[in-house]
A and B are shown apart, each in its own frame.
Chain A
Amino acid sequence: MLLRRDLDQDRDEHIDMTPMVDVVFQLMTFMLFTIQMSGGEKVDVPPARHGVGVEETSATFLTLTRPSRPGGESKLLLGHGEGPTATLDQARKAAADGVKEGRNKVIIQADREVPHGEVLEVAAAVAQVEGVTVHLGVQEISGAP
């Protein structure tokens, strides 16, 4: 008499995908709510509590790095600090080219230790381009809500 289970019979084994789907959606939700759409600044811009967000594709970036030594000279770079050293005329030309391409904003990413006078000189140079608005790059205050 054989009333035992036939162990040799094939079983329908499936991997339960439900926990995997749950984890995927959890990750998606986490990424959507916590991702910070901000660019990695190459320079240590000063913090500020207020400010407006400017899209990367709608602005022309100029970078002012801190002097290598106290009292030294700052470097004006085109772009996000990866371009070559530029002059004020080149910065003005870059702003003009940006306006032609629809990028009417100029963002000056100046290090917090850069002399204030040098920042203003760069701002005055690009302000000569018609239709340009000047912005100073800042960052969120660390530890601020």
Chain B
Amino acid sequence: MASWDIFHAESLELERDLSGEAIRAALAAGTLNDDDLVRPAGTSAPWARLGDLPEWTTRPEPNLVPEPNPAPAASPEIFDLGPPPTAEPAPPIPEPAPPPRRVPDEPPARIRQGPMKPPPVPPESSDFEFRVEPSSPEIPAAQAPASLVAPPAWIELGGESDDVTFPVLDEPEPARPASQDASSWEWPDDEDEDEDEDNDEYEEDDDLAGRIEPDNEIEILDDDEDAGEILDADGLTVPSPHSAEAASRNGSSSVSLPVVPSRDWNEDRPPIESHGGDDEDFSLSRGGPTTVEELDLAPMVDVAFQLVLFFMVTATTILYKTLEIPKPSQEQKQEAMTQGNNARPMEDLKKIYVMVEIDAAGTIKIDGEPVAADAGAIAERLRTAREKSGRTIMLLSADYATPHRNAVLAYDASIEIGMGIAIARPKPPSGPAPSVFPGASGGNPPPPPTTPNP
């Protein structure tokens, strides 16, 4: 007895290997309706609506069995007295190996769980089948009795009377997307509840496949270990879309899945150039951890820190900003002496030096004229004096108690304009000698006067 696969249009569930009685009982009970799809079990024939098959929707009557004595209009040669052929559909493509089936005569649990009624007694199959010559002009098909109406195609194919044969569609199959083959669907054998989620994924993938180019498709075959490379624990196999096996299985059941570009794809892999070879199966498996090709900067960082430490340790050269003053000497002692017994007349000194005098309060005079305590002003006055008189040496005659900064101010101005420096040693203030100069008070002569800077 032939069995059928039923696809519930509403619940999107598939039931396999249902007998004709179970289907009729389900139709009678309302479990199935006209929108559900049916096809012979184990085949990849197109699905058909139950409503399009009057064999399922209408209960056959016993008198529909053709009488041995047919209508006189029928010619004797139309009787086919051969043995009844077995219910074997003739699919246009080689039938693949049928999946493991349940007990054929036992309807699936889902149908049985419904409000089942006693299945109607199937009509006795007739040992004789007849065909009406389609070219017979005497009896129009519309006026012929029901028993003489042209039988469905399954009768011509040798099917049994209670075996509803899938009708042969005269109309061409509606156009489908190139990516969706007519036999591109095969439902998994297991009808567990867990498989519903997978079915949903298939549907989503199918929707996605309709949006992409067919060239980017791959076919993932299930239940066939020899079809391709095993991807993961799920046992999914992915054959090469260009392989011969995939080409040969074009008519077999398969699920078309799109190839979605992913950043996880190993870009380092060479492009797959499959030309149908068996060894060039396309694989989605990741080729192990991705090797990151980047420059190791750790040694560079080490060297950089070494350089930093080197500079920090060796940068001990500290420069002190100084002003070089004339070195006093004994030979020049009397020359620049301005005070004391050996003092030269002031008039003579003024002819040689530009006189810069600083009193104890810090007042600065150049050639007797006061000037602001500013290096720029002093330099400008010294430049003017040099240009007028041609004197190139400055003689600093500062009070002993004047702050050191005022003397440095005069030094700085003189160096700025490039004048020579002569320092007149001031007379110490009256009273005991400073304690910081014990050596000078030990009978040594007073410090020598400054020397002009040539």
A contact patch SS: mixed
Q: Are B447 and A116 in contact (CB under 8 A)?
A: no
Q: Are A136 and B437 in contact (CB under 8 A)?
A: no
Q: Are B327 and A127 in contact (CB under 8 A)?
A: yes
Within 8 A of A (CB), among B310-348: 311, 315, 317-329
CA distance A75 to B232 in the complex (A): 90
Q: Are B400 and A117 in contact (CB under 8 A)?
A: yes
Binary per-residue interface labels of chain B (276-291) against chain A in the complex, 1 for a CB within 8 Å, 0 otherwise: 0000000010100111
Binary per-residue interface labels of chain B (390-417) against chain A in the complex, 1 for a CB within 8 Å, 0 otherwise: 0000000011111111111101100110
Q: Are A46 and B405 in contact (CB under 8 A)?
A: yes
CA distance A97 to B262 in the complex (A): 80
Q: Is B12 in contact with chain A by the CB < 8 A criterion?
A: no
Q: Which residues of A contact B327 (CB under 8 A)?
A: 127, 132-134
Q: Which residues of A contact B315 (CB under 8 A)?
A: 35, 37
CA distance A61 to B198 in the complex (A): 91
CA distance A121 to B406 in the complex (A): 17
Q: Are A116 and B402 in contact (CB under 8 A)?
A: yes
Binary per-residue interface labels of chain A (106-134) against chain B in the complex, 1 for a CB within 8 Å, 0 otherwise: 01011111111111111111010000111
Q: Is B419 in contact with chain A by the CB < 8 A criterion?
A: no
Q: Are B320 and A54 in contact (CB under 8 A)?
A: yes
Q: Which residues of A contact B412 (CB under 8 A)?
A: 48-51, 138
Q: Is A18 in contact with chain B by the CB < 8 A criterion?
A: yes
Number of A-B contacts (CB under 8 A): 232
Q: Are A9 and B401 in contact (CB under 8 A)?
A: no
Q: Are A38 and B234 in contact (CB under 8 A)?
A: no
CA distance A60 to B233 in the complex (A): 84
Q: Is A11 in contact with chain B by the CB < 8 A criterion?
A: yes
Q: Are A124 and B291 in contact (CB under 8 A)?
A: no
Q: Are B407 and A116 in contact (CB under 8 A)?
A: yes
Q: Please, how many residues of chain A have a CB less than 8 angstroms from a CB on the other chain?
A: 77
Q: Which residues of B contact A10 (CB under 8 A)?
A: 289
Q: Is A59 in contact with chain B by the CB < 8 A criterion?
A: yes
Residue of chain A at shortest CB distance from B451: A127
- The residue from A6, A32, A90, A109 contacting B286, defined by CB atoms under 8 A apart: A6
CA distance A121 to B321 in the complex (A): 21
Q: Are A55 and B325 in contact (CB under 8 A)?
A: no
- The residue from B220, B308, B407 contacting A24, defined by CB atoms under 8 A apart: B308
Binary per-residue interface labels of chain B (228-239) against chain A in the complex, 1 for a CB within 8 Å, 0 otherwise: 000111101000
Q: Are A37 and B319 in contact (CB under 8 A)?
A: yes
Within 8 A of B (CB), among A47-72: 47-57, 59, 64
Q: Are B319 and A53 in contact (CB under 8 A)?
A: yes
19 contacts between A and B (CB under 8 A): A1-B257, A2-B234, A14-B292, A17-B300, A37-B319, A46-B405, A48-B323, A52-B324, A53-B319, A54-B320, A74-B436, A107-B322, A115-B402, A116-B402, A116-B426, A120-B426, A136-B408, A136-B411, A140-B321
| 6 cross-chain pairs, A with B, having the tightest CB-CB distances, nearest first | A124-B447, A117-B400, A88-B439, A53-B319, A135-B322, A89-B439
User: Which residues from chain B sit less than 8 Å from chain A, CB to CB?
Assistant: 198, 201, 220, 231-234, 236, 257, 262, 264, 284, 286, 289-292, 294, 297-298, 300-301, 304-305, 307-308, 311, 315, 317-329, 358, 375, 398-409, 411-412, 415-416, 423, 425-426, 428-429, 434-440, 442, 447-448, 450
